Structure 1
Amino acid sequence: MEDGFYIVFVKSSPEDIVAVIKLSKNTYRKIMQNLWRAAGYNVAAIPHVREFQLQLEVQPLVLF
């Protein structure tokens, strides 16, 4: 996975401005899509992980 940013150079023609607006909308849509996917994954996975943790806990030894 590549971290970083990109620089977009744009001319002042109207077609380029439209292209930049499309690019920004697509980028925002992808960010929101990834955010919701990550949230859904966490909602589904965290209870399963907690249940697994509870199964692995060692019960304390009680001596009477």
Structure 2
Amino acid sequence: MRITIDKNLCIGSGQCALTAPSVFTQDDDGFSALLPGREDGAGDPLVGEAARACPVQAITIAED
């Protein structure tokens, strides 16, 4: 699995970080970011839910 965040779409609502805090965080500007080494989701079962919770659909999950 590969997770990407479209920084042009992200509005910084933080829903991803609230849903899957072991994978997502917010950067210094308040926008969503992946925690280092978590680009593959780190086996967190809530990654898909975090992507669905994004109000602007800025998170993409691609299966390898």
TM normalised by structure 1 equals: 0.28
TM normalised by structure 2 equals: 0.28
Which has the larger share of helix?
1
Which has the larger share of strand?
2
- The one of the two structures with greater contact order (alpha-carbon pairs below 8 A, sep at least 6) is 2
